[in-house]
Chains A and B, each alone.
Chain A
Amino acid sequence: MSEKDVKENKSEITRRKFFLFFGWFGLISSLAGSALGSVRFMFPNVLYEPSTKFKIGKPADYPPNTVTFVQDKNLFVVRGKDGVQGIRIISSVCTHMGCTPKWVEAKNQWECPCHGSVFNLKGDVIAGPAPKPLPWYKAVIASDGKIIVDSKEYVKSDYQIKV
């Protein structure tokens, strides 16, 4: 770049261009700031929906070698099935359309009444249209001896609370 070019480029920033730049810069940045703030506004900081962590009673409430349906929490408590001694928690929401599969003791499997999906004791789909296995929830024993389920955290089918 020659010395002449530098001089010409510098003289191109007129008073009008300077104010135009800052005018547009101010307008666009304030609009962008408002837009970003509005997007953040749409994400609530406090929720009033039921907690995804909840208690479902003591281990003694669930006898060995049974599958118990806990209706208001949408889950089954599995104790001592499939060669696992402890307590395990599995979702009772069918991964197809959200119906509630029924535990069939005689066949050791869950059968969904809506579209015929069948899940085995590991939660895996063995028949029907369900695309994914039923998820197992993480659960621990609280200091008061009750079981706390975290329905947001999934675990493998052999995860258990030892009793």
Chain B
Amino acid sequence: MKKNSLLDLLTNNRFYKSIFRHGYPDDDIKRSEVVTGNLFLHIQSVKVHKNTIRAGYTLGLGLISFYLFIILTITGILLMFYYIPSIERAYNDMKDLEFAVSFGIILRNLHRWGAHGMVAFVFFHMCRVFFTGGYKPPREFNWGVGVILLILTLFLSLTGYLLPWDQLAFWAITIVANLIGTSPPEKILGAGLREIVLGGTIVEQNALIRFYVMHVVVLPLVAAALIGVHFWRIRKDGGLSRPAEE
């Protein structure tokens, strides 16, 4: 790095070095410190096998799913500023987001298509792992975590489906609640599950707020924690699965 260049000026000072202890990464040790000394990067290994970065092997499907999760989190938080989970206001708030709020239609559609995309890409990711044998030891535990993440993704889709509070949402959740109600033994488990999910016997205000809380707090928190475990286990189980040495 040139002395007194812009880069030197920005990185060779106390403020920059208090954040990034290693200084500008211009040798191998500092380059490794970039990864180990950073909360967001340290989940990666410092060095990876050459075959790991072959994009055609994993197709980046897991990372695409993760990016969609990030997009859904950001757009979801913004939508929460205008959406009120009450049966009097939910549908009107959704229509306001479409027609009255600036950029509301973009955020709503990003959230909607992102959600469809996430279901698709999590599924594609599972197919890829299956066809490349990525579920085999030592990665069988991470396959299990992935299956739970797929189910969480589906639950997130289902709970979000009720929130617009239109006819589609209402009858979809009525059907799902009745499906849950048939869990055997019907009189004990099924009826109990149905009542816990709806907070009553019909799809009403209690059901809406329950689905809302699950959708915006409970399921995203559990999913975020499991995504952390999932990523950490990739590294602990020997890195991204890759083709054998040629």
Interchain CA distance A44-B81 in the complex, whole Å: 10
Interchain CA distance A40-B107 in the complex, whole Å: 12
CB atoms of A42 and B81 under 8 A apart: yes
- Tell which of B31-39, B96-104, B128-136, B153-161 binds the partner: B96-104
Interchain CA distance A44-B97 in the complex, whole Å: 10
Task: Pick the most buried of B78, B100, B101: most chain A CB atoms within 10 A of its CB.
Answer: B101
Interchain CA distance A44-B106 in the complex, whole Å: 15
Nearest CB in chain A to that of B81: its residue: A42
Chain A residue total in the interface (Cβ 8 A): 9
CB atoms of B103 and A38 under 8 A apart: yes
CB atoms of A46 and B96 under 8 A apart: yes
Asked if A45 CB lies within 8 Å of chain B CBs, one says yes
Could you mark each residue 21-43 of chain A with 1 if its beta carbon is under 8 Å from any beta carbon of chain B, else 0? Answer: 00000000000000001101111
Interchain CA distance A108-B78 in the complex, whole Å: 52
Could you mark each residue 61-105 of chain A with 1 if its beta carbon is under 8 Å from any beta carbon of chain B, else 0? Answer: 000000000000000000000000000000000000000000000
Interchain CA distance A38-B82 in the complex, whole Å: 13
Main SS of the interface on chain A?
A: loop
Interchain CA distance A141-B126 in the complex, whole Å: 71
CB atoms of A38 and B78 under 8 A apart: yes
Nearest CB in chain A: distance from B107 CB, A: 7
CB atoms of A40 and B103 under 8 A apart: yes
Interchain CA distance A41-B107 in the complex, whole Å: 9
Nearest CB in chain B to that of A40: its residue: B102
Residues of A within 8 A of B103 (CB): 37-38, 40-41
Residues of B within 8 A of A37 (CB): 102-103, 106
Within 8 A of A (CB), among B78-133: 78, 81-82, 96, 100-104, 106-107
CB atoms of B104 and A41 under 8 A apart: yes
CB atoms of A45 and B106 under 8 A apart: no
Interchain CA distance A68-B103 in the complex, whole Å: 46
Residues of B within 8 A of A41 (CB): 78, 81, 101-104, 107
Partner of A45 from B81, B101, B107 at Cβ < 8 Å: B101
Nearest CB in chain A: distance from B195 CB, A: 34
Residues of A within 8 A of B107 (CB): 41
Residues of B within 8 A of A40 (CB): 102-103
Nearest CB in chain B to that of A36: its residue: B103
CB atoms of A46 and B100 under 8 A apart: yes
Residues of B within 8 A of A (CB): 78, 81-82, 96, 100-104, 106-107
- Provide 25 A-B residue pairs closer than 8 Å at the C-beta atoms, listed in order of the A residue: A37-B102, A37-B103, A37-B106, A38-B78, A38-B103, A40-B102, A40-B103, A41-B78, A41-B81, A41-B101, A41-B102, A41-B103, A41-B104, A41-B107, A42-B81, A43-B102, A44-B82, A44-B100, A44-B101, A45-B100, A45-B101, A45-B102, A46-B96, A46-B100, A46-B101
